[in-house]
Amino acid sequence: MTDEFDPITQRLESERPVPRAAFRGELRRMLMAGAVERSSRPPRLRLMIAAYAGSGLVLLAIAAIGLAGGGPLAA
The number of beta carbons lying within 10 Å of the beta carbon of residue 8 is 9
Over pLDDT 70: what percentage of the chain? 91
Q: Would you place residue 51 in the very low, low, confident or very high pLDDT band (cuts 50, 70, 90)?
A: very high
- Please give the residue range of the domain that contains residue 34: 2-67
- How far is Cα 63 from Cα 71, in angstroms, rounded to an integer? 9
Whether residue 74 is contained in a domain is answered as: no
Whether residue 20 is contained in a domain is answered as: yes
Three-class secondary structure of residue 53 per DSSP: helix
Q: How many domains does the chain have?
A: 1
Whether residue 73 is contained in a domain is answered as: no
Q: What is the pLDDT of residue 13?
A: 87
Whether residue 72 is contained in a domain is answered as: no
Tell me phi and psi for residue 39, to 5 degrees.
Answer: -85, 160
Per-residue pLDDT averaged across 32-55, rounded? 85
